[in-house]
Structure 1
Amino acid sequence: AAGVSMTVLSTDYGLSLGLPLEGAVLILTAFNLTNGTGRLASGYFSDRLGRRRVMSLAFLAAGIAYFLFPLAGDLPSAAILAAVVGLSFGTLFSVSAPLVADCFGLDHFGAIFGLTFAAYGFVAGPLGPTLSGYLLDLNGDNFIPIFLYLGAFSLLAALSIRQVVPPGRP
Structure 2
Amino acid sequence: MSSSRYTFWVLILVVVIAGASQGLTIPLLAVMLEQQGVSSVSNGLNAAALYIGMLLISPWLEVPLRRLGYKATIFWGLCLVTLATVLIPIFSNLAVWFVLRMLMGIGDSGLHYSSQMWVTKIAAPERRGRDLSIYGLAYGMGFSIGPLGINLLPLGFWVPFASLTVLYIAAFILLARLRNDFPEAAQAAPAQKTKKENRYASVIRLSWLALIPSFLYGFMETSLNGSFPVYALRTGLTVEWVSVILPSFVVGSIILQIPLGALSDRIGRKRVMFVCGLVGATAFMLFPLSGGNVWMMMFLLGIAGAAVGSFYSLGLAFATDLLPGSMVPTAGIIASMNFGVASILAPNVNGLLMQLWDPRSIFWLMALLLVAFSVSCLLFRTNRSHQETVAA
TM-score (norm 1): 0.84
- Tell me how far 1:97 sits from its aligned partner: 1.3
- Tell me how far 1:111 sits from its aligned partner: 0.8
RMSD of the alignment, in Å? 2.2
* Residues 354 and 360 in structure 2, CA contact (< 8 A), matched pair in contact too: no
Give the gaps of 5 or more residues in structure 2.
Answer: 1-215, 386-392
Return the alpha-carbon distance in structure 1 between the equivalents of residues 332 and 360 of structure 2: 34
Q: Give 2:329's aligned residue.
A: 110
Q: Deviations over 1:48-98 (max 9, x none)?
A: 221011111111111111211121121111111111222244221221111
Are 1:135 and 2:353 an aligned pair?
A: yes
Return the alpha-carbon distance in structure 2 between the equivalents of residues 163 and 103 of structure 1: 16
Return the alpha-carbon distance in structure 1 between the equivalents of residues 363 and 227 of structure 2: 10
- Tell me how far 1:17 sits from its aligned partner: 4.2
* Residues 135 and 145 in structure 1, CA contact (< 8 A), matched pair in contact too: yes
* Residues 277 and 370 in structure 2, CA contact (< 8 A), matched pair in contact too: yes
Q: Deviations over 1:12-43 (max 9, x none)?
A: 44434433322222221101111333322221
Return the alpha-carbon distance in structure 2 between the equivalents of residues 54 and 100 of structure 1: 14
Q: How does 1:19-38 map to 2 (within 5 A)?
A: 19-38=237-256
Return the alpha-carbon distance in structure 1 between the equivalents of residues 356 and 329 of structure 2: 40
Q: Which has the larger radius of gyration?
A: 2
Q: Give 2:378's aligned residue.
A: 162
Aligned with residue 288 of structure 2, among 59, 70, 87: 70
Q: Give 2:229's aligned residue.
A: 11
Are 1:119 and 2:341 an aligned pair?
A: no
Aligned AA for 1:108? M
Q: Give 1:86's aligned residue.
A: 305
Q: Give 1:50's aligned residue.
A: 268
- Tell me how far 1:136 sits from its aligned partner: 1.1
Instruction: Compare relative contact order (CA 8 Å, sep 6+) and give the higher one, 1 or 2.
Output: 1
Q: Deviations over 1:92-148 (max 9, x none)?
A: 1221111001111312110123213322322x2222222011111223xx3222222
Aligned AA for 2:334? L
Return the alpha-carbon distance in structure 2 between the equivalents of residues 133 and 102 of structure 1: 37
Return the alpha-carbon distance in structure 1 between the equivalents of residues 294 and 231 of structure 2: 10
Aligned AA for 1:155? V
Greater CA drift, 20-29 or 9-18: 9-18
Aligned with residue 259 of structure 2, among 34, 41, 52: 41
* Residues 231 and 360 in structure 2, CA contact (< 8 A), matched pair in contact too: no
Return the alpha-carbon distance in structure 2 between the equivalents of residues 86 and 13 of structure 1: 18
Aligned AA for 1:36? I
Return the alpha-carbon distance in structure 2 between the equivalents of residues 72 and 15 of structure 1: 15
* Residues 55 and 158 in structure 1, CA contact (< 8 A), matched pair in contact too: yes
SS at match of 1:109: helix
Return the alpha-carbon distance in structure 2 between the equivalents of residues 148 and 87 of structure 1: 18
TM-score (norm 2): 0.39
> Aligned pair count?
166
**Identical-pair percentage:** 24
Q: Give 1:151's aligned residue.
A: 367
